[in-house]
A and B are shown apart, each in its own frame.
Chain A
Amino acid sequence: MSPLFALIARDIRLAVRQGADSMMVIVFFVLVVVLFPLGIGPEPAILARVAAGVIWVAALLAAMLSMDRLYQSDHEDGSLELLVLSPLPLELQFLAKAAAHWLTTGLPLIIAAPLLGVFLNMRAEGFGVLLAALALGTPSLSLIGGVGAALSLGARRSGVLLSLLVLPLFIPVLIFGVSAVDASLTGLGAKAQLLILGGLLLGAAALTPWAGAAALRQAAE
């Protein structure tokens, strides 16, 4: 097995063994969404109107919630230093970490999203696009969040700090993720928005490894 996949497998194994982490993210995701009908009232038309936005915002928060653990334990037990010294380029390791984060949080979020669409009375035509947008958008969240997690390693109150760093950078994904669903529901077609989400993902995949690796290197110094 190549070292890259070994690293992904290690992270997933760790996540599965701790088990609760992934589960907690999903429960958090569902809980946040459930708060909205209780907060703004159960009017089906209003819920259907805001469904995509609520699901996306909840997904951002859930993805961010699990983010600060990404490098924390490696930093604390010293394995981060070993990773930095290993012959595998740190940029690739960053991608592996982000992939593992996506597999343990992004993917479960996508699986849970249709259920929440039903809760929020979303129209059936929107489901496919919502899933496609989440599939293209959540990996970007894992990548951008990975940079934030690496930057805030060892900081005071790193959890709150991480959200302050990362949420503004999530905004483009949120905007196009929501407008993709809205466009498909109004019959305009979501192709343009999905292409932009894909472009954001490619851009993030190309650029965040450099920033993330630089951040990890100086965190391990």
Chain B
Amino acid sequence: MHRFANPTRFLKLISALQPWAMGVSVLCLAAGLYFALIVSPADYQQSETVRIMYVHVPASWMAMFCYSAMAGASAVGLIWRHLTAFVVARATAPIGAAFTFLALATGSLWGKPMWGTWWVWDARLTSVLILLFLYLGYMALEGAFDDRSRGARAAAILAIVGAVNVPIIKFSVDWWNTLHQPASVVKIDGPAIHSSMLTPLLLMAMGYTAFYFWVMFVRVRAEFNDARIQALRLRQTEA
């Protein structure tokens, strides 16, 4: 890992990986959509609305994955003072916020026909809403300082503090009785859903994950460009 603390090496790595992330993402999403909308059957209980699952569940996974990545990168940045890690965390935040928003919005669109309401204040929904606020707080704090590195470090501490929310989200459906159904894929005794539904779900999840890396790589490269622009401007005003 320390090898890639060097920005040049890291940039080279992500520039090489970016086409792969893009390819995997586009292929998996195309195949996933085909299976999700055409091949997979309707659920006997939830009928056609089960198709919302294929965009809702991957978005929720990614909401938590991105937060974990952001908090992990923040911890690496604080402990080893790797500036590259802060850049990864900063690039991850808006993507994670987008996934969290999608998880809430598609969940709402699924809740209306299934539960008869757009929103309930149960533990799962509330904790995901808090996650969205944590992302927004992270981005606000990160951009609120004239000194960029001060903002990066302050936001990193916030990301780590907010990480207590991630296990709460994960286990909220087991700890409290809620309308939200418990996990049916990630279980110790194997997934509880049929393979005809598991295939599109996993394809979409892989597509979303690759999409995250794709966009994150693009954002990291833009961040590095910005840093260089700032350095050049500084040099030119001094010259």
- B145/A164 in contact, CB under 8 A: no
Give the number of A-B contacts (CB < 8 Å). 59
Q: Confirm or deny: A92 has a beta carbon within 8 angstroms of a beta carbon on chain B.
A: no
How many of chain B's residues have a CB under 8 angstroms from any CB in A? 22
- A152/B153 in contact, CB under 8 A: no
- A147/B133 in contact, CB under 8 A: no
Q: Which residues of B contact A154 (CB under 8 A)?
A: 145, 150
Q: Confirm or deny: B160 has a beta carbon within 8 angstroms of a beta carbon on chain A.
A: yes
B residues near A (Cβ < 8 Å) are 78, 126, 130, 133-134, 136-137, 140-141, 144-146, 150-151, 153-154, 157-158, 160-162, 164
- A152/B144 in contact, CB under 8 A: yes
- B140/A161 in contact, CB under 8 A: yes
Q: Which residues of A contact B164 (CB under 8 A)?
A: 207
Q: Confirm or deny: A83 has a beta carbon within 8 angstroms of a beta carbon on chain B.
A: no
Which of these, B137, B154, B160, contacts A168 with CB under 8 Å? Answer: B137
Which of these, B126, B144, B154, B162, contacts A218 with CB under 8 Å? Answer: B154
A residues near B (Cβ < 8 Å) are 147, 151-152, 154-158, 161, 164-165, 167-169, 171, 175, 207-208, 211, 214-215, 218-219, 221
Most buried by B among A161, A169, A211: A169
Q: Kindly state the separation between the CA atoms of A155 and B140 in the bound complex, as whole angstroms.
A: 10
A-B contact pairs, 25 of them (CB 8 A): A147-B161, A151-B157, A152-B141, A152-B144, A155-B141, A155-B151, A156-B144, A161-B140, A161-B141, A164-B136, A164-B137, A164-B140, A165-B158, A168-B134, A171-B126, A175-B126, A207-B161, A211-B157, A214-B157, A215-B157, A218-B150, A218-B153, A218-B157, A219-B154, A221-B150
- A152/B130 in contact, CB under 8 A: no
Q: Kindly state the separation between the CA atoms of A167 and B78 in the bound complex, as whole angstroms.
A: 24
Top 3 A-B residue pairs of the complex, sorted by shortest distance between their CB atoms: A155-B144, A168-B133, A165-B137
Q: Which residues of B contact A156 (CB under 8 A)?
A: 144-146
- A165/B141 in contact, CB under 8 A: yes
Q: Which residues of A contact B134 (CB under 8 A)?
A: 168
A171 with B130: in contact, given A161-B140, A164-B136, A211-B157 (CB under 8 Å)? yes
Residue of A with least CB distance to B121: A175
Q: Kindly state the separation between the CA atoms of A168 and B137 in the bound complex, as whole angstroms.
A: 9
Q: Kindly state the separation between the CA atoms of A156 and B143 in the bound complex, as whole angstroms.
A: 9
Q: Other than the known A161-B141, A168-B130, A207-B164, what 18 A-B pairs have Cβ atoms closer than 8 Å?
A: A147-B161, A151-B154, A152-B154, A155-B154, A156-B145, A158-B144, A165-B137, A168-B137, A169-B162, A171-B126, A171-B130, A211-B161, A214-B157, A215-B154, A218-B153, A218-B154, A219-B154, A221-B150
Q: Kindly state the separation between the CA atoms of A155 and B146 in the bound complex, as whole angstroms.
A: 8
Task: With both chains docked as a complex, state the minimum distance between the C-beta of A188 and any C-beta of chain B, in angstroms.
Answer: 15
Q: Kindly state the separation between the CA atoms of A208 and B141 in the bound complex, as whole angstroms.
A: 18
Which of these, B78, B136, B158, contacts A151 with CB under 8 Å? Answer: B158
Most buried by A among B126, B133, B137, B145: B137
Q: Which residues of B contact A158 (CB under 8 A)?
A: 144
Q: Kindly state the separation between the CA atoms of A75 and B182 in the bound complex, as whole angstroms.
A: 47
Q: Kindly state the separation between the CA atoms of A164 and B151 in the bound complex, as whole angstroms.
A: 15
